[in-house]
Structure formats: structure tokens, C-alpha cells
Amino acid sequence: MCGIVGYTGAQNAKEILLEGLKKLEYRGYDSAGLALVHPGTLKVVKGTGEINKLEEKINGDGKDSFAGIGHTRWATHGRPTDENAHPHYSCCQNFAIVHNGIIENYQQLRQWLEGEGHKFRSETDTEILAHLVEHYYQGELVEAVRQAVSFVEGSYAMVAVAAGEGDHLVCARKDSPLVIGLGEEENFIASDIPALLAHTRRVYILEDEEMASVTSSGVQLFNLQGDSVSREVFEVKWDAVEAERGGYPHFMLKEIMEQPTAVRETLRGRVDAQTGEVSLSELKLSSKEIESLAKIHIVACGTAYHAGVVGRYAFEKMLKIPVEVELASEFRYREPLLSPHDLVIVISQSGETADTLAALRLAKQQGVKVLAITNVVGSTVSREADDVIFTWAGPEIAVASTKAYLTQLVVLYLLSIGFAFIRQTGEEETFATYGRSLLDIPDKIDQILETKSLQKMQDYAAKLAGSENAFFIGRNLDFAVAMEGSLKLKEISYIHAEAYAAGELKHGTLALITSGVPVIALATQEHVLEKTISNVQEVKARDGDILIVTLKGNEQVENHAQQVYYLPEIEDLLAPLLAAVPLQLISYYAAETRGCPIDKPRNLAKSVTVE
Ligand code: G6P
């Protein structure tokens, strides 16, 4: 998730672009750059660090440039380095590109372009676009961009400039947002509305597989076949702060709503829609090493630890090998017994959590391979682990983790399915079915995020907000989800919440269930459904207030609770990917009702880099 800006008009382009980039810093960044158009030439200035550093680097340059593009990078392909920063330019340096998204077939395209004599300077997927545009340019930038994107598989929001085309910017999008701001004798492009608000509130929102030709005097929209497209002007009514949150009152809600996209991005290029096979070619671990794995240790903190608990069930079921999950703060001081054929998987959204990092180092010292699951390219965890697989959730800003958690689950499922194919621990068709079902998850989350369904969560949360205690219960994978549900509720609403394995309730906690005490029972796992319902009965007998979260098709639970929430149907193994979402919403709405500072809960930090 990077930030993109473009400008063409009568004002100094450098100033407008830098100011626009600063407005996008909230999206996270590790490097930044500009390409400024001068008559017959392009000036590209870029490098790692903040926008201020870029500003210093440009210094007095670019005073007489009135068109250009800019970018803040949140690394995906390629570490955060000067060479990998955008804009990227072609061999002849006459074309420069900024891009947001992931080009899946970049390795094939790079090979082909290198065969055609193109020289690459970076490790990024984006640089492909600059060379493709150069390759297809025959005097018309619009046509060259149209041809270039037609070869690209994956997602993109991109803007191109050419030395020979004056104030002309050409942009295109697929699965990554892009808006065009309309001014008087000047026009703007941005990945996000906040970058435009200082100049205009009139925008065209580019749709998927559309492109635009933008000059100071006008904007033309096309589809990728080259046919012109007409669009109504959208008047932005948000204030600047609302715009940063995409119009949502809090980043947390924005990030909950972004989950279908985050999951889609994390799956992109990793599952074959036909065969259901999972591609783990990005891993350094060889098939032989995967085949000889004796045990997996999953180590993490907070929400990432809860993702690990789901991972344990998935790995054990699919791989039939023992899996331990442990809090990094405990693991590092426990003298864990690790063997050469073990694999340690560390999970960390930020890739900087001190305890997780210490656990990683401990495992490495003992000569055991460490595979990291993280959301931040270039983070310490990603650099120090032997192997890394990224979640493509984009920057997560709210302290309470939502989309990072869901994408961590996706990666854990991908690993368990991928490893199962390699180790042949069961029927291939079963693994393939799981693989294909993962691809349906984004649409199913979308169903949970429909207004009617949100209203249900809101109504329940309004009631819950009046309680000082709440309990989450479940068995098996439902217990894992219950743990995350209870953490979410306590961290943002300050309601005391605990998660219990449903069968354990009667061994103590049942003493706390009195009339009206809220109990959220997760009941998605068919093989323990009856058992869970018996535990729900124990709560009902004490007049507890029960919400059951289950899958469609389990209507037999209806009479056992005051409220039932039905998730779309899915294989039991994958149910956590759906069940977590209503729990996030309940926590969010309960915290909202209680007037809590949702994005920055008291005493908590997004990334804990101290012990
Ligand atoms: C902090 C955050 C949690 C997060 C945990 C682990 O406590 O508030 O939301 O789950 O750190 O962070 P990591 O970046 O390692 O996933």
C-alpha cells in the first residue's frame, strides 16, 4: 500500500507533489520520490526515509517544472532501498512510473524484457511497467500505457510521465484505488483523497480496468480497450481527518472494512483457482526440508499469538505433526527444546516486537530454521529470519489489530495446505478444496460487512456496552477465535473479557455466570457442536445472556440462545477467517458506545519494541 500523487498545471509541481505526499504519510512509508517533467527531460529524485529527507535531497531543483508524479513507498517486492524507491524509469530515462499494487507475473515479464535488452536497476515488480511503456511507446503515452498494463497480472494503480509529452500524465488502475482531482487549468492524481483536499473537492473516481489521460487543460477517461468512458464528478464532503480514514470515524473500522481486499491481496498469486494448489515458491525452504519437518513451534505476541493458535489446529490437522504455540515472552526464557528438523514460525505484524525478535534469535542460535510471517517488508524480523512470507494487509494504523490478524490466518492456512500437498499427508482433493475455498473468503467477508449484518452487531454491542464483564467460549478452532475476540473487546472497550475453552467453564468460571452476564459462544465446528451446545446450556441454566456465532446450516442452535448470528457457509477448518469479523465489529461498536478512544486505547502501543 503506497501513496501516489500526480500534478499538471501552472503551479510549481514539486511543491504540490511534496505537500500531497505529506498528506499520505499516514499510510506508512519507507521511501519516497518524485519525477519532475522539464522540457525534453525528466528529473527523478528518490531515496529511503521520510518526505522531509526527500525535500532536502531535491533542494533547489525543480523550480521550473509544472508537471510530475510522486510516491511514498510501503515496500512489497524488494527491500526499502534507494534503488527500490519510486518513481522507476526506463532504460533511456524518458519514462517514469509510480505504482501501487503487486504485479504477479513480474518475473516472467522481467526475463522477457531483459532478453529484449532492457537493463533493470531495482528488485521491484514496478520497474517492469517503466520498461514495458518504453517498449511499446510509439509517440503516444496513452497507447503505450494501455499496452503495458494489458500484459500485467495482479493489481495496480499507476501513473506514467514521458519526457517528450510535456504536461501529460497517464494513469490506470486495477484493484488499487486512484482518483483524479479536477482543478481550473490544473489537474491532480492521487491514490487517496486526502492528497487532493487542499486543491479541489471535485474528483473522478477511476474504476477498475480504466485509465485516464490527464493534462492541465483536461481529463479523458478510457477503458482498457481504448473506448472513452464518461463519469460523473464526485463532490468530496469529508474534512481532512475524515478523508484520511476513508470517511470512516476510526482507522479500526476502516481496517475492518478493508479486510476483503487485504485477504484478496494476501492470496494473490498464491493459489491456483482451478487446481486449488498453493504456490510456496517464494519460500527458501526446500520440499525436502518440508517433508522432513518433525515439529513446528509457533511464537508470537498479542493478536499474532492468537493467529498462531489457529495455525496450530490447521497444521496438526493437515500435517499430522506436533505443533506448539507459545508467547514469545515465555519462549525466550524457557530454554525450549528444539531439534534440527523443527521449524520455528514467528508471527509479527510490525516485524519489530522485541520479545518476538528475541525468540527468533534464540531459535537461530540453536541452529533451527526460522520462518517469519510479517506485514512489513524490511522489518527486523523479516531481515533476520531464514525465510519470510508476507501478509499483504497494507499499513495497519489502529492499535487493535484486525486486517493483519486475518491475513496472518490466511498465510497460516496457505502454509498448512501447501505443506500438506508436499508431504502428501492426505487426499490431494481435500487440500485442493481448502485451497479453492480460501479464494471465496473475501466475498464471504463482504457479506458479513453488509449493512444489515452490521446493524445486528451494532444492536448487540449497544447492549454489551452496559456490562463490565463478558465471556467468550468455544471448543477447538472456536476457542482460538474466542481468545482473539476477548482480547479485542478488552483492549478497546475496557470491558473485562475472558476466553474459555467451553468444556473448561464448569471447572471454575461458571461461578461467575449470573443473570444477564454476556457470553459469546463460538459454535462453528461441527464435530464438537453438540458439546458446545451442552456448555451453552450450562450458561443458560444460570440465566446468562448468550450470543451464538455459528455457520449457516446450524439452525439447530436457535433455541439455545437469546441471539444467534449466522456466518456464511464454509468448511469448518476455515471458519475462523469469518468468525473473527463479527467479533471485531462487536468490540468496535461496544467501544464506540462507551466513547472510548478506539484507535489509541489507553496504555497500549501498536508496536512494542521493549521487553
Ligand atoms: C502490541 C499490539 C498488538 C499486537 C502485538 C504484537 O501489543 O498492540 O495489537 O498484536 O503488539 O505485535 P506484532 O507487530 O508483533 O504483531
Average pLDDT over residues 74-95: 88
Quote the DSSP letter at residue 116.
T
> Which pLDDT score, from 0 to 100, does residue 381 have?
93
Coil/strand/helix, residue 491: helix
Whether the CB of 399 sits within 6 Å of ligand 1: yes
Model pLDDT, residue 611: 62
Q: How far, in Å, is the centroid of ligand 1 from the Cα of 311?
A: 17
* Test site for ligand 1: of 301, 379, 402, most ligand atoms within 8 A of the Cβ: 301
pLDDT in tens, 589-611: 999 999 999 998 988 888 777 66
- DSSP character at residue 596: -
Q: Which residues touch 176 (CB under 8 Å, ≥6 apart)? A: 100, 101, 155, 156, 157, 191
Confidence at residue 241, expressed as pLDDT on a 0 to 100 scale: 73
pLDDT the model gives residue 328: 96
Average pLDDT over residues 115-122: 94
Residue 302 beta carbon below 6 angstroms from any ligand 1 atom: yes
| Nearest CA owner, ligand 1 atom 15 | 348
Higher pLDDT, 394 or 442: 442
> What's the rounded mean pLDDT across residues 293-318?
98
Ligand 1 site, residue 604, Cβ cutoff 6 A: yes
The finding on whether 350 has its CB within 6 A of some atom of ligand 1 is yes
Q: Which long-range contacts (CB under 8 A, 24 or more apart) does 539-542 make?
A: 539/473, 539/505, 539/510, 539/513, 542/510, 542/513, 542/514, 542/515, 542/517
Q: What is the pLDDT of residue 60?
A: 76
Does ligand 1 have an atom closer than 6 angstroms to the CB of 382?
no
Please list, in sequence order, all residues whose beta carbon lies within 8 angstroms of the beta carbon of residue 11, skipping any fewer than 6 positions away.
Answer: 66, 186
In which band, very low, low, confident or very high, does the pLDDT at 194 lie, cut at 50, 70 and 90?
Answer: confident
Is residue 353's pLDDT more than 80? yes
274, exposed or middle or buried, with CB in 10 Å at 0-12, 13-18, 19+? exposed
Best residue for ligand 1 mutational test, from 350, 399, 483, 487 (most atoms within 8 Å of Cβ):
350
pLDDT > 90: percent of the chain: 80
How far is the centre of ligand 1, averaged over its atoms, from the C-alpha of 359 (Å)? Answer: 15
Q: Which of 2, 171, 301, 596 is catalytic?
A: 2
User: CB of 473 closer than 6 A to ligand 1?
Assistant: no
- Calculate how far, in angstroms, residue 64's C-alpha sits from the geometric centre of ligand 1: 46
401 lines ligand 1 (CB under 6 A): yes
User: Whose CA is closest to atom 3 on ligand 1?
Assistant: 302
Give 108's contacts (C-beta < 8 A, 6+ positions apart): none
Over residues 450-473, mean pLDDT = 96
Ligand 1 pocket test, candidate residues 347, 376, 401, most atoms within 8 A of CB: 401
The separation between the first and the last C-alpha atoms of the chain, rounded to the nearest angstrom, is 30
Say if pTM beats, i.e. exceeds, 0.85.
no
Q: What angle do CA 7, 11, 13 make, to 5 degrees?
A: 45
* Nearest CA residue ID for atom 5, ligand 1: 302
Separation of CA 180 and ligand 1 centre (Å): 36
> SS3 of 422, please?
helix
Q: Which atom of ligand 1 is nearest to the CA of 303?
A: 10
State whether the beta carbon of 301 lies less than 6 angstroms from ligand 1: yes
Q: Is the CB of 578 under 6 A from ligand 1?
A: no
Q: What is the rounded CA–CA span in Å between residue 482 and residue 575?
A: 12
At residue 345, does pLDDT exceed 80?
Answer: yes
pLDDT tens readout for residues 371-396: 999 998 878 899 899 999 999 998 88
Binding site membership of 303 for ligand 1 (Cβ less than 6 Å): yes
- 273-299 mean pLDDT: 96
540 is catalytic: no
Q: Centre a 10 Å sphere on the Cβ of residue 267 and count the other Cβ atoms it contains.
A: 22
Q: What is the mean pLDDT of residues 278-283?
A: 94
Q: Are 144 and 161 in contact (CB under 8 A)?
A: no
322 and 275 Cβ atoms separated by less than 8 Å: no
Question: pLDDT tier at 28 (50, 70, 90 boundaries)?
Answer: low
Calculate mean pLDDT across residues 360-380: 93
Q: What is the distance between the alpha carbons of residues 340 and 337, in angstroms, rounded to a whole number?
A: 10
**Best residue among 299, 346, 353 to mutate for probing ligand 1, ranked by most atoms within 8 Å of CB:** 353
pLDDT reading at 562 higher than 80: yes
- The pair phi, psi for residue 375, each rounded to 5°, is -105, -5
Say if ligand 1 is within 6 A of residue 609 CB. Answer: no
- Chain mean pLDDT for the chain: 93
Locus of grid cell 455459528: 550
Burial class for 556, CB neighbours closer than 10 Å (0-12, 13-18, 19+): exposed
User: Grid coordinates representing 259?
Assistant: 479486510
Residue 399 alpha carbon, nearest atom of ligand 1: 8
CA-closest residue to ligand 1 atom 2: 606
**43 alpha carbon – ligand 1 mean position (Å):** 40
Q: Are the C-beta atoms of residues 182 and 224 closer than 8 Å to each other?
A: no
CA of 508 to the centre of ligand 1 (A): 30
Q: Could you tell me what percent of the chain has a pLDDT over 70?
A: 99
With a cut of 90, say whether residue 367 has pLDDT above it: yes
What is the residue-wise DSSP string for 541-593?
TTT-EEEEEEETT-GGGGGGSSEEEEEPP--GGGTHHHHHHHHHHHHHHHHHH
Supply the residue whose CA is at minimum distance from atom 11 of ligand 1: 607
**Which residue, among 159, 200, 198, has the nearest Cα to 178 in the 3D structure?**
159
Q: Is 153 left (phi over 0), alpha (psi -120 to 50) or beta?
A: beta
Can you tell me the mean pLDDT for 415-440? Answer: 97
How many whole angstroms from 600 Cα to the centroid of ligand 1? 13
Atom of ligand 1 nearest to the CA of 605: 8
Q: Are 578 and 372 in contact (CB under 8 A)?
A: no
Amino acid letter for position 114: E
pLDDT of 463 above 90: yes
pLDDT at position 73 is 87
76 Cα distance to chain centroid: 11
Q: Residues 534-548: pLDDT tens digits?
A: 999 999 999 999 999
pLDDT of residue 593: 98
pLDDT at 433 over 70: yes
pLDDT of residue 1: 61
Using one digit for the tens of pLDDT, what is the confidence trace for 323-337?
A: 999 999 999 898 899
Query: Quick check: 262 and 403 in contact, CB under 8 A?
Result: yes
Task: Give yes or no for residue 327 CB within 6 A of ligand 1.
Answer: no
> Which cell is 147 given?
499496452
- Stated as kind and residue range, the H or E segment containing 354 is helix 354-365
Centre of ligand 1 to C-alpha 110, Å, is 37
Q: Is 92 a catalytic residue?
A: no
**SS3 state of residue 355:** helix
Of 359, 295, 347, nearest to 323 by C-alpha is 295
215 close to ligand 1 (CB < 6 Angstrom): no
Q: Is 357 in the pocket of ligand 1 (CB under 6 A)?
A: no
237, pLDDT greater than 90: no
